[in-house]
Amino acid sequence: MARIAFLGTGLMGTGMAGRLIDAGHDIHVYNRTSARAQPLVERGATLASTPAKAATDADAIFAMVGDDIASRALWTGPDGVLSQELKPGTLAIECSTLSHDWVIELSEQTKEAGLDYLDCPVTGLPEAAANGLLTLFLGGEQTTIDKAMPLLEPLSSNQMYFGPIGSGSAYKLIVNLMGSIQIAAAAEGLITAERAGLDLDLVAKALASGGCGSPQVARNAALMVEGEHEKDVLFSTKWRLKDTDYGFKYAKKLGLNPAIGKATLNAFQGAMDDGYAASAETKVIDALRKRLPEN
């Protein structure tokens, strides 16, 4: 049994921490809004008032939060993990989708503190997190991965090793930018089909089973046709814009100027500007409807 700090108990973090509880580990949780951690406390976790307290004497520290700002607060804030001395060799497993620059900076800071950093962004919906069916994109030393694997296996059905620290996040940013492009393209396609007078339910089914029917297109096209963008939101416009922005900036960092990525970034920024931050990412179809000219 390991003593584990789990920082961030949103939709994804709750499922992941729950898997570690079920595996028999001693879980200490922290969430900025403590009430959101209560379901885990009821399952046996210990609630900590700060990230530092959660990480005290930990064998491993997991983080699963929304963006660089939240990650910085957890790790380097006044009451953050790195505000105290930790056991040398403690695993620092960052599962959040973060900018590449921050991943590299954070990995250096944790190394200076004597921790073993693992770049470990994930893919999968909250249901997959709760059932241990995530895919992990790993970047780090092989010895660190080997040490972490007993803790990673309850969380995931697939672990993909991309290379040194930063490479797991590099892949995650690439695939998330592609996913954003696919969602925006599906929205434009449905608007076109709407103007053509086609049956949108049939169009969504055809898209899901056709040559361009990626999981993103299949899931989100159907949700766009339903039009219930405020119901059971699994991934909001705010977070889709963040992922698109991080992916676009990483491509720019590599010397690229991705025009399709930029257009997609503008599409989700438009949805944000229209006040759809908390709506599902599928709400981008309404933002595009406003902006696509009639003629």
Going by C-beta distance under 8 Å and a sequence separation of 6 or more, which residues neighbour residue 173? 97, 99, 100, 243, 246, 247, 250
CA distances from 83 to 78, 79, 170 (A): 6, 6, 28
Segments in the chain forming alpha helices (H): 11-22, 38-42, 51-55, 68-76, 100-112, 126-130, 142-152, 167-195, 200-209, 215-226, 237-253, 259-273, 284-291
Q: Which residue has the tokens 């405020």?
A: 230
53, 111, 172, 238: which is the annotated catalytic residue?
172
Compute the average pLDDT of residues 75-104: 97
CA distances from 36 to 32, 47, 71, 236 (A): 9, 11, 17, 18
Query: Is 172 annotated as catalytic?
Result: yes
Query: pTM of the prediction?
Result: 0.94
pLDDT tens digits, 157-214 = 999 999 999 999 999 999 999 999 999 999 999 999 999 999 999 999 999 999 988 9
Residue 97 DSSP code: -
CA angle 201, 203, 207 (to 5 degrees): 120
In this predicted structure, what is the pLDDT of residue 292?
81
Q: Do the strands 134-139 and 122-123 form a parallel or antiparallel pair, or are they unpaired? A: antiparallel
pLDDT band at 108 (very low <50, low <70, confident <90, very high): very high
Q: Which residue has the tokens 């957890």?
A: 74
pLDDT tens digits, 129-142 = 999 999 999 999 99
Hey, what are 7's tokens? 């920082």
pLDDT tens digits, 201-251 = 999 999 999 998 899 999 999 999 999 999 999 999 999 999 999 999 999
CA angle 153, 90, 111 (to 5 degrees): 115
Phi-psi region for residue 47, left (φ > 0), alpha (ψ -120 to 50) or beta? beta
Q: Is the pLDDT of residue 95 over 80?
A: yes
